[in-house]
Homo-oligomer: A and B are copies of this chain.
């Protein structure tokens, strides 16, 4: 038997069935038409953002990193709840605009921005988090050609990382941002060339669960911003402090203490020098805002025994849940939280592995989990499916195609 991750708060059973947004899993599948299905809870997102705002200092803006979940109804919901959107491609710009997001609250980071993406962003007044001197050069040339002053922030490659983070984005040679020592020269050039200087973007890592690690990273980030501002001699209008707020996926993971993070950040912002007194600060979060708000529902199509082990074979799989299968950025595979959705809350009766329908041994949704007895037709719920699920998985692998998605 192998442990499964902790089921996030906010999910409960009505008459033995998992309920999301007031509807049972069976009713949700009926409404969507079929499995596999991603269900996203707007209540969960709203509550998460309200709790976050209560914990963070009022001065801090909250941006949504839409790479976490670009489902159009989720974007529209987020547009009513957050202060800005962070995008990573021209495709994401299009999706954000279609969801009603105002271009002036969009910032665009990404190390490989194509000429046409720069042009689109500049024409729309989107802030570019510039990743290199070359990119700034191209943006300035496009601005000149279009007769528009590009809105340019500089993404800084910090010389520190986020300890304990799932993905380190700083501390050494990186394809992201400009090494800190070259930033003052670049910013002075941006200003001298008549672009609109927008400040800094500093992203040191993601998916951390220890408040101490995030507090330390934010302190280091603010110290770096202070040093850079002093060296440049111009106050940054805006500073994006990055993200890093993680969610529990695996057994033993504890939720991040956002109150501790918010208190420390409030004190740190209060202690900033005069040169940063009028600077706007934000954090950008994707997974933290939507990850726990999503559940992946997939139906059991076969139950079988091989060499004494029980397998529950579903109509879903890694083509929708690459990360849950352990094949995306993880070295050791561990079980996400899973449950039998139509026997939610029932006691565990057997050890079974939940696998997908793909013809590959990689397609494992839960290895040797302790579950209520389940059979063909029952629904499996994989939790923590709201971020980096549908859009971060190879949907067309083996001719399967995408899952359905609904926001309730």
Contacts and interface: CB of A to CB of B under 8 A. Distances in A.
Interface of A: 67, 70, 87-95, 109-115, 131-135, 157, 167-169, 172-177, 179, 301-304, 306-309, 311, 313-315, 317, 322, 327-329, 331, 353, 355-362, 376, 391-401
A306 B399 contact: no
A301 B168 contact: no
Contact of A95 (B91, B301, B399): B399
B361 A168 contact: yes
Contacts of A179: 306-307
A175 B353 contact: yes
A87 to B, nearest CB: 7
Contact of A304 (B67, B175, B307): B175
Given A362-B328, A400-B91, A301 B357 contact: no
B111 A355 contact: yes
Contact of A392 (B174, B301, B376, B397): B397
Contacts of A306: 157, 173-175, 177, 179
Looking at A174, A308, A399, the one whose CB has the most chain B CB atoms below 10 A away is: A399
A315 B394 CA distance: 19
B112 A302 contact: yes
Nearest to A303: B134
A176 B360 CA distance: 9
A396 B400 contact: no
A314 B358 contact: no
A169 to B, nearest CB: 6
A360 B329 CA distance: 10
A353 B111 CA distance: 13
Given A311-B175, A314-B112, A315-B112, A399 B359 contact: no
A135 B357 CA distance: 13
Contacts of A169: 361
Looking at A133, A175, A322, A392, the one whose CB has the most chain B CB atoms below 10 A away is: A175
Contacts of A176: 359, 361
Contacts of A360: 167, 329
Given A132-B302, A327-B329, A361-B167, A89 B175 contact: no
17 contacts: A67-B398, A88-B399, A89-B357, A110-B357, A111-B302, A111-B359, A112-B315, A113-B357, A115-B301, A135-B302, A157-B307, A168-B361, A173-B307, A173-B308, A174-B307, A394-B394, A394-B395
